[in-house]
Amino acid sequence: MKKIFEVPMYAYEKSPDQDASTPVRHPVVVIGAGPIGLGIAIDLAQHDVPVVILDDNDKVSFGSRAICFAKRPLEILDRLGCGEPMVEKGVLWNVGKVFFDEDETYKFNLLDEDGHKNPAFINLQQYYFEQYMVDRVRALQAEGKPIQLRGKNKVEAVGQHDDHVTLEISTEDGPYILEADWLIACDGANSPTRRMLGLDFEGRVFEDNFLIADVVMEADFPTERWFWFDPPFNRGQSALLHKQPDNVWRIDLQLGWDIDREHEMKHENIIPRLHAMLGEDAKFELEWVSIYTFQCRRMEAFRKGRTLFAGDAAHQVSPFGARGANSGLQDTDNLAWKLKLVMDGKAPDALLDTYSDERVYGADENIMNSTRSTDFITPKSDISRIFRNAVLDLAGQYEFARPLVNSGRLSVPCTYDGSVLNGPDAEGLPDALRPGATALDAPTKDGWLLDRLGDKFQLLAIGIEAEDELNTCGIDIETIRLAADESPELANRYLGDAKGAIYLMRPDQHVAARWIRFDKNAILDAVKTATAQGGK
Amino acid sequence: MTDLITTPNIIDADDFYADLLALHDGQSKERSDAINARLILLLANHIGDREVLAQAMRDAAKP
Q: Residue A125: which CATH number?
A: 3.50.50.60
- The Cα-based distances of A329 to A16, A41, A69, A71, B35 in angstroms read 31, 11, 10, 12, 45
Do residues A246 and A216 touch, judged by C-beta distance below 8 A?
A: yes
* Integer Cα distance of A377 and A388 in angstroms: 8
For chains A and B, CB pairs below 8 A equal: 25
User: CA A160: distance to chain centroid?
Assistant: 27
Probe site for chain A from B36, B38, B43 (most A CB atoms < 10 A): B38
Which one of A367, A385, A408 terminates a domain? Answer: A367
Let me know whether A313 and A187 are in one domain. yes
Q: Do A391 and B41 touch (CB under 8 A)?
A: yes
Let me know whether A348 and A479 are in one domain. no
Q: Do A394 and B33 touch (CB under 8 A)?
A: no
Neighbours of A25 (CB within 10 A): 14
User: CA A229: distance to chain centroid?
Assistant: 27
Chain A positions touching B36 (Cβ under 8 A) are 386
Let me know whether A156 and A64 are in one domain. yes
* pLDDT of amino acid A1: 57
* pLDDT of amino acid A220: 80
Which one of A319, A345, A367 terminates a domain? Answer: A367
Neighbours of A63 (CB within 10 A): 15
Q: Do B34 and A390 touch (CB under 8 A)?
A: yes
Chain A positions touching B38 (Cβ under 8 A) are 390, 393-394
The residue-averaged pLDDT of B14-43 equals 98
Alpha helices in A199-349 (DSSP H): 261-265, 267-278, 325-343
Q: Which of B37, B42, B45 sits opposite A387 (nearest CB)?
A: B37
Closest residue in B to A403 (Cα–Cα)? B45
CATH number at residue A449: 3.40.30.120
- The residue among A494, A424, A428 whose CA lies nearest residue A461 is A494
Instruction: Look up the domain containing A70 and give its range.
Output: 4-91+119-201+298-367
Contacts (Cβ under 8 Å, ≥6 apart) of A98 = A104, A105, A106, A107, A108, A227, A228, A229, A392, A395, A405, A407
Closest residue in A to B41 (Cα–Cα)? A391
Let me know whether A306 and A450 are in one domain. no
Q: What is the pLDDT along chain A (536 residues), one digit of tens a residue?
A: 577 888 899 999 999 999 999 999 999 999 999 999 999 999 999 999 999 999 999 988 888 888 999 999 999 999 999 999 999 999 998 889 999 999 999 998 887 788 999 999 999 999 999 999 999 999 999 999 999 999 999 999 999 999 999 999 999 999 999 999 999 999 999 999 999 999 988 888 777 899 999 999 987 888 899 999 999 999 999 999 999 999 999 999 999 888 999 999 999 999 999 999 999 999 999 999 999 888 889 999 999 999 999 999 999 988 887 888 899 999 999 999 999 999 999 999 999 999 999 999 999 999 999 889 989 998 989 999 999 999 999 999 999 999 999 998 888 899 999 999 999 999 999 999 999 999 999 999 999 999 999 999 999 999 999 999 999 999 999 999 999 999 999 999 999 999 999 999 999 999 999 999 999 999 999 999 999 998 55
Could you give the count of Cα atoms lying within 13 Å of A482 in the half-sphere of its Cβ? 32
Any domain includes A424: no
Let me know whether A439 and A513 are in one domain. yes
Chain B positions touching A393 (Cβ under 8 A) are 34, 38
Q: Is A87 on the interface with B (CB under 8 A)?
A: no
Q: Do A386 and B45 touch (CB under 8 A)?
A: no
User: CA A228: distance to chain centroid?
Assistant: 26
Closest residue in B to A393 (Cα–Cα)? B38
- The Cα-based distances of B63 to A483, B41, B57, B60 in angstroms read 62, 22, 12, 7
Q: Do A386 and B42 touch (CB under 8 A)?
A: no
Q: Do B33 and A401 touch (CB under 8 A)?
A: no
Any domain includes A331: yes
* pLDDT of amino acid A535: 59
Number of domains in chain A: 2
Burial readout A454-483 (b: 16 or more C-beta within 10 A, e: otherwise): bbebbbbbbbbebeeebebbebebbbbebe
Let me know whether A56 and A148 are in one domain. yes
User: CA A137: distance to chain centroid?
Assistant: 18
Q: Which of B33, B42, B45 sits opposite A386 (nearest CB)?
A: B33
* Integer Cα distance of A117 and B44 in angstroms: 40
Q: What is the pTM of this model?
A: 0.94
Chain B positions touching A390 (Cβ under 8 A) are 34, 37-38, 40-41
Probe site for chain A from B45, B53, B57 (most A CB atoms < 10 A): B45
Q: Is A406 on the interface with B (CB under 8 A)?
A: no
Let me know whether A137 and A9 are in one domain. yes
3-state helix, strand, coil in chain B (%, to 5): 65, 0, 35
Which one of A367, A395, A413 terminates a domain? Answer: A367
* pLDDT of amino acid B6: 95
Let me know whether A57 and A132 are in one domain. yes
Q: Do A394 and B34 touch (CB under 8 A)?
A: no
Chain A positions touching B37 (Cβ under 8 A) are 386-387, 389-390
Any domain includes A519: yes
Any domain includes A276: no
